[in-house]
Structure 1
Amino acid sequence: MTRVVLVHGIAQQLKGPETVAGAWLPALNDGLAISGSKTLPRDDVSVAFYGDLFRRPGHRGLGEPPLDASDMESGLEHELLLSWWQAAAGAEAGVPGPDAPARVRTPRVIQRALHALSHSSFFARLSEGAMIGSARQVRRYFTEAGIRHAAEERLTRAVTVETTTIVAHSLGSVVAYETLCAHPHWQDLTLITLGSPLAVRGLVFDRLHPVPHGGTARWPLPVKRWINIADHGDAVALVKELAPRFGSRIQDLTVDNGAHVHDVRPYLTARETGLVLAEALA
């Protein structure tokens, strides 16, 4: 019985649905326990996994070389990286901003951005190739119709008549929003978005399906309640409040994820997340 469907974000291509569930469910149950609520058994939770859509095929010999700054495509990939850089620099004193002089010889803007982000609390755990790959996954989702459709199909198959709640992290919140809009016959669902970039103008918001009009996006009809949760320093969730763009019914909350501002696990263990999830399940 799938009561809760989890939708992951970027950089999950080397995992699978059981791996994601193995990481998410303990954290989710910790959040429920911390909020004084009952925990969920594994059978009540399903993962809408689409990470494999971004996995590169294997190659003979030495394989593909890792991505570096020269592989960064102009346009959306470039703009995403710069927006993350600006947000991280604004939130963390240890991250040199775009106007700060480079301490190492990084003449290209992209290389400077990658170097600066390596000092941020979220991106410090990622290699340059992983940062570039993360931006590329966002770009591919919005520009490759096959990937977008396949991700929607994965979530569609995961939702059952017993489902009451969808919990979506990062790019997964985009997948969840677009899928919910495409299925107006679904009813009475609670949507919990974590570290969502949905309201970031130009990069995400204006690329959504259905297309927003007049700076306002369509409300997903199956959703009776929408709670959006963001850490104040989360560079991916550049715009922390979704209500101004998606409707005043959204409850925007902030949490403190410590050093791991975009990691889904501290989002899930937060008491605030546990409380809203418990209310949805009740």
Structure 2
Amino acid sequence: MARVVVVHGIGQEFVGPESLGREVGPALRDGVRLATASRLEPEDVECAFYGNLYFEEGTRSLDIPPWDETDVDEGLEIELLVAWWEQAARVDPDVLGPDVAGSRGPVGFGASRLLLSERVRAALDALSGSHFFAKVSDRLLIFALRQVHRYMTEPELKRLAQARIAEEIAEDTRVLVAHSLGSVVAYEALCAHPEWPVTDFITLGSPLGMRSVVFDRLQPPPTDGIGSWPGGVERWTNIADRGDIVALADRLAPRFGGRVEDVSVSNGVRMHDLLRYLTASRTGRAVARGLGG
């Protein structure tokens, strides 16, 4: 079994474990080789895949409805959408933030459905024009919101996603690398399984530090504003591009304690891209360290 397991995030639901693994494995091995001159074998890296859980059995992309602004749910989905909008405005000069994009007040509880729809429409338009989302369609943006929402609120989906990681953990697994929403799945799985032999947890573009939508909903819940340490992990390296909108809180040490090592990288114009993160030299060094290199 693999010494390194990689957990994907949102946006991988149209592939599978084998096809994604053919990209993830070489990218991670490149990162280690470029950073340390060490070489991993193909069998050292495995991909834990849960993307298909978001579709009913026997269905795929043709079953995504033509969602629009009226389909974004009040609460978690709107909170996440507006948080992405605000962050996009901070890092992208071409994006007007919610405070200047219109004369209406902010989206929130108690607003009329018409006002909510208008502001959601403004948020979708702003994000689709940002460098980060690069003209992503409304329905795919809403699908991303739904994936986060469903994982955070549906116990059975959460259980099944974490089980996909458990299937890949073996006696010789030492490093768990997790991207985007996958870092939330991996974190909760590690907390639930302190007996796992994983010594190094590496998070890439992680939303774990995002209050309300993610951090405050974690299992186990934070205590006095500090999240639990993930199981038996010895080292936690959090890697984020400062322009990565998903990694709203790009430093996790303030949320999970000073033992977290926060590291910055630059992924160019593909700030949240999984392969860019995996080939980064700082990711390679963190993986090599976990393997004793």
Q: TM-score range by the shorter chain?
A: over 0.9
Q: Deviations over 1:158-197 (max 9, x none)?
A: 1000101000000111111100010112235200000001
Contact 2:171–2:197 (CA<8 Å) still a contact in 1? no
Query: What TM-score do you get using the length of structure 2 for normalisation?
Result: 0.90
Q: Give the alignment of 1:107-186 within 5 angstroms.
A: 108-186=118-196
Query: In structure 2, what is the Cα distance between the partners aligned to 1:224 and 1:269?
Result: 23
- Following superposition, the deviation at residue 63 of structure 1 comes to 5.6
Deviates more, 1:159-168 or 1:111-120: 111-120
Query: In structure 2, what is the Cα distance between the partners aligned to 1:163 and 1:6?
Result: 11
Q: Secondary structure at the match of 2:236?
A: strand
Query: In structure 2, what is the Cα distance between the partners aligned to 1:2 and 1:241?
Result: 29
Partner of 2:108: none
Query: What TM-score do you get using the length of structure 1 for normalisation?
Result: 0.93
Partner of 1:272: 282
Amino-acid identity (%): 49
Summarize the Cα distance change of 1:227–1:69 in structure 2 as closer, same or farther, 3 Å threshold: same
Amino acid at match of 2:18: E
How many positions carry a matched residue from both structures?
A: 277
Summarize the Cα distance change of 1:74–1:222 in structure 2 as closer, same or farther, 3 Å threshold: same
Q: Secondary structure at the match of 2:234?
A: strand
Summarize the Cα distance change of 1:4–1:63 in structure 2 as closer, same or farther, 3 Å threshold: closer
- Following superposition, the deviation at residue 269 of structure 1 comes to 1.3
Query: In structure 2, what is the Cα distance between the partners aligned to 1:153 and 1:125?
Result: 34
Instruction: Note if 1:258 corresponds to 2:268.
Output: yes
Summarize the Cα distance change of 1:63–1:195 in structure 2 as closer, same or farther, 3 Å threshold: closer
Query: In structure 2, what is the Cα distance between the partners aligned to 1:121 and 1:56?
Result: 32
**RMSD over aligned Cα, in angstroms?**
1.8
- Following superposition, the deviation at residue 57 of structure 1 comes to 5.7
Partner of 2:250: 240
Partner of 1:21: 21
Q: Deviations over 1:183-238 (max 9, x none)?
A: 11223520000000101111100000001111011112310111000000111100
Contact 1:121–1:261 (CA<8 Å) still a contact in 2? no
Query: In structure 2, what is the Cα distance between the partners aligned to 1:68 and 1:250?
Result: 39
List 4+ stretches of structure 1 deviating above 4 A.
Answer: 56-59
Query: In structure 2, what is the Cα distance between the partners aligned to 1:101 and 1:249?
Result: 40
Q: Deviations over 1:54-95 (max 9, x none)?
A: 125667xx8664222121111111111110010011011011
Q: 5+ unaligned residues in a row in structure 2: which ranges?
A: 103-114
Query: In structure 1, what is the Cα distance between the partners aligned to 2:179 and 2:63?
Result: 31
- Following superposition, the deviation at residue 99 of structure 1 comes to 2.3
Query: In structure 1, what is the Cα distance between the partners aligned to 2:64 and 2:82?
Result: 26
Contact 1:14–1:55 (CA<8 Å) still a contact in 2? no
Summarize the Cα distance change of 1:243–1:34 in structure 2 as closer, same or farther, 3 Å threshold: same
Query: In structure 1, what is the Cα distance between the partners aligned to 2:166 and 2:289?
Result: 23
Query: In structure 2, what is the Cα distance between the partners aligned to 1:188 and 1:158?
Result: 12
Query: In structure 2, what is the Cα distance between the partners aligned to 1:152 and 1:64?
Result: 24
Partner of 2:40: 40
Contact 2:173–2:198 (CA<8 Å) still a contact in 1? no
Query: In structure 1, what is the Cα distance between the partners aligned to 2:95 and 2:171?
Result: 46
Contact 2:65–2:139 (CA<8 Å) still a contact in 1? no
Amino acid at match of 1:228: N
Summarize the Cα distance change of 1:63–1:265 in structure 2 as closer, same or farther, 3 Å threshold: closer
Partner of 1:249: 259
Q: Give the alignment of 1:170-249 within 5 angstroms.
A: 170-249=180-259
Deviates more, 1:140-149 or 1:184-193: 184-193
Summarize the Cα distance change of 1:129–1:199 in structure 2 as closer, same or farther, 3 Å threshold: same
